[in-house]
């Protein structure tokens, strides 16, 4: 019985000694978790003003919140008398091991953050990258999803995508259409150019600023090549392209302007045998 009494007295003493620390730690935890809401709120407002992508906003706010919570937890543990230096060392070693194991995934993650922050392309843009081309269907943290014109889905990791070359066909409002038409050497160049200008003027989808260009670009082996460069809204690019091809063929045929095909003249030289 005396031993039990001693144990009870020891427990009572320890409780009285640690009670203030425990109460102070609990209060600090509650206040700390309440205070970290303000930096998160200020960060979200700043990201909204800078027009950062919504998915990136949520991720960055969550990441900052996790870091602030970790700081609060470590501070509370130190208030209870626990040595935090070893705890921090263990966390650092674990973080290094996880980073080495997930090196490729972390590179894709960092690439996704860069893409969402700097916005080299957006959802709905038509891009060409990593040997593929298609419309951006979704930008995720680790991958970017493309959909090709024939409805194939392409998943590109964000790591190489953020470090490689990207051709964005949708970033500007207008695009230039480059076309080349060959006419015969016996055809009237001025007439052909006038016909092409009439076709351009008739199509209201073709912009007048910048001014369309119709000029002789090359004297080829079998044809005189005339280049046509016109500007249109990006959504009208392929419609104007295909209509120009059809209209030029139909109207050139009516105007008597030919489309020559590659040909070669072969000269046969006969050699008579010598007479004796």
Q: Which domains are seen in the chain, by residue range?
A: 2-101 (1.10.287.1260), 120-168 (2.30.30.60), 174-255 (3.30.70.100)
Order the strands of the 126-129 sheet from edge to edge.
153-157, 143-147, 132-139, 126-129, 166-168
What predicted TM-score, i.e. pTM, was given to this entire model? 0.62
- CA 44 and chain centroid, separation: 23
Q: Is the pLDDT of residue 16 over 70?
A: no
Please tell me the least confidently modeled range out of 50-59, 76-85, 127-136: 50-59
CA separation for the pair 255, 222 (Å, rounded): 20
Is the CA virtual torsion 243, 175, 111, 58 positive or negative?
negative
Mean pLDDT over all residues of the chain? 81
User: Average pLDDT of 94-100?
Assistant: 56
pLDDT of residue 102: 46
**What is the maximum alpha-carbon separation in the chain?**
150
**Can you state the angle between helices 54-79 and 103-118, rounded to 10 degrees?**
120
For the chain, how are helix, strand and coil distributed in percent, rounded to 5?
55, 20, 25
Closest to 27 in 3D by CA, of 75, 81, 70? 75
Q: Is the pLDDT of residue 4 over 90?
A: no
For 269, the token pair is 């030289």
User: Average pLDDT of 174-190?
Assistant: 94
Please tell me the least confidently modeled range out of 4-13, 150-159, 180-189: 4-13
CA separation for the pair 259, 223 (Å, rounded): 8
pLDDT of residue 255: 92
Please tell me the least confidently modeled range out of 23-32, 143-152, 159-168: 23-32
Please tell me the least confidently modeled range out of 78-87, 124-133, 160-169: 78-87
Question: In this structure, are residues 175 and 229 in contact, taking their beta carbons and an 8 Å threshold?
Answer: no
pLDDT of residue 88: 62
Q: Is the pLDDT of residue 155 over 80?
A: yes
């Amino acid at each position: 019985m005396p031993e039990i009494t001693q144990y009870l007295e020891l427990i009572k003493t320890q409780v009285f000694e640690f009670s203030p620390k425990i109460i102070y730690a609990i209060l600090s935890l509650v206040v700390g978790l309440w205070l970290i809401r303000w930096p998160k709120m200020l960060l979200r407002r700043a990201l909204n003003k800078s027009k950062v992508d919504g998915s990136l906003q949520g991720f960055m706010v969550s990441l900052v919140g996790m870091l602030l919570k970790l700081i609060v937890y470590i501070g509370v543990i130190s208030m209870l008398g626990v040595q935090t230096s070893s705890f921090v060392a263990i966390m650092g070693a674990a973080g290094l091991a996880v980073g080495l194991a997930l090196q490729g995934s972390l590179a894709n993650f960092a690439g996704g953050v860069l893409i969402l922050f700097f916005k080299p392309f957006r959802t709905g843009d038509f891009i060409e990258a990593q040997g593929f081309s298609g419309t951006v269907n979704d930008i995720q943290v680790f991958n970017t999803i493309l959909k090709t014109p024939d409805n194939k889905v392409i998943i590109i990791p964000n790591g190489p995508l953020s470090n490689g070359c990207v051709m964005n066909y949708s970033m500007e409002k207008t695009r230039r259409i480059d076309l080349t038409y060959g006419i015969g050497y016996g055809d009237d160049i001025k007439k052909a150019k006038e016909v092409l200008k009439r076709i351009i003027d008739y199509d209201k989808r073709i912009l007048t600023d910048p001014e369309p260009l119709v000029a002789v670009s090359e004297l080829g082996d079998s044809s005189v090549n005339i280049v046509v460069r016109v500007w249109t809204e990006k959504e009208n690019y392929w419609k104007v392209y295909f209509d120009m091809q059809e209209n030029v063929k139909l109207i050139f045929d009516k105007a008597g302007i030919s489309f020559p095909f590659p040909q070669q003249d072969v000269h046969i030289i006969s050699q008579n045998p010598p007479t004796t």
